């Protein structure tokens, strides 16, 4: 009887240890899903001159409170204006020149005390401007859907509508 009870106890202890490990792994993954989000601060559009439409989008973003560091090389930005096929933008190192279609660049506006701007990793406290050039210029009274899809965590929407007129400004606040 003692031998049977010992075997049963060993099985129960082993099973509870396995369940505890699974629960901890699930909890860690759930925390990453919730806390790895980007927060959109502003969305701007720029144009070459007062007579043209918006050709470049700039999204000021930072990590949400408690978020883990994020490698922007793993971020995908999906843009759609509802008129043309959606475009997926991927990372390209920032060199101060405008990006080409299909890539985005990141410019650190605040932060980089840890050297994160040099290696594409965004950390808590950084303020990063994500910049991408549109394949088709965006006219007045238009809507656009922008979704930022990180490697882990929830995707973040940065949708916007353009104003009725751009006036003479070359930088337009969209959100």
pLDDT tens digits for 17-38?
777 777 776 666 555 555 558 8
Instruction: Specify whether the backbone of 114 is left (phi greater than 0), alpha (psi in -120 to 50) or beta.
Output: alpha
C-alpha to C-alpha distance for 109 and 127, rounded to whole angstroms: 5
Which domain CATH number covers 102?
2.60.40
Interval 34-69: pLDDT, tens: 555 889 999 999 999 989 999 999 999 999 887 888
158 and 79 assigned to the same domain: yes
Same domain, yes or no: 29 and 105? no
Which helix (H) or strand (E) covers residue 3, if one does?
helix 2-35
Same domain, yes or no, for 51 and 77? yes
| 107 and 121 assigned to the same domain | yes
Q: Are residues 16 and 51 located together in one domain of the fold?
A: no
Beta strands in 30-162 (DSSP E): 38-46, 54-63, 70-71, 76-80, 87-91, 103-110, 121-122, 127-138, 143-149, 156-157, 160-161
Could you give the CA distance from residue 65 to residue 63 in angstroms, rounded to a whole number?
A: 7
Residue by residue, DSSP assigns 113-131 as TTSHHHHTEE-TT-EEEEE
With cut-offs at 50, 70 and 90, classify the pLDDT of residue 131.
very high
Residue in 113, 96, 94, 114 with CA at minimum distance from that of residue 104: 94
> In terms of Cα–Cα distance, which of 23, 19, 83 is closest to 53?
83
Q: How many CB atoms lie within 10 A of CB 112?
A: 17
* The model scores a pTM over 0.85: no
The pLDDT-based confidence of 125 (bands split at 50, 70, 90) is confident
Residues 73 and 24 reside in one and the same domain: no
Domain of residue 23: give its range: 1-35
Mean pLDDT computed over 76-94: 90
């Amino acid at each position: 009887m003692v031998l049977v009870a010992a075997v049963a106890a060993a099985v129960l202890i082993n099973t509870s240890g396995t369940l505890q490990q699974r629960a901890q792994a699930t909890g860690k993954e759930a925390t990453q899903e919730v806390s790895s989000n980007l927060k959109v601060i502003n969305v701007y559009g720029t144009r070459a001159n007062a007579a043209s439409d918006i050709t470049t989008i700039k999204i000021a973003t930072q990590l949400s409170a408690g978020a883990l560091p994020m490698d922007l090389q793993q971020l995908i930005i999906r843009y759609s204006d509802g008129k043309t096929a959606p475009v997926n933008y991927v990372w390209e190192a920032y060199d101060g020149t405008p990006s080409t279609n299909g890539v985005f660049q990141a410019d650190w506006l605040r932060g980089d005390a840890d050297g994160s701007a040099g290696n594409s990793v965004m950390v808590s406290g950084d303020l990063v401007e994500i910049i991408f050039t549109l394949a088709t210029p965006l006219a007045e009274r238009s809507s656009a859907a922008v979704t930022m899809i990180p490697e882990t965590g929830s995707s973040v929407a940065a949708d916007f509508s353009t104003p009725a007129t751009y006036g003479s400004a070359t930088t337009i606040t969209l959100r």
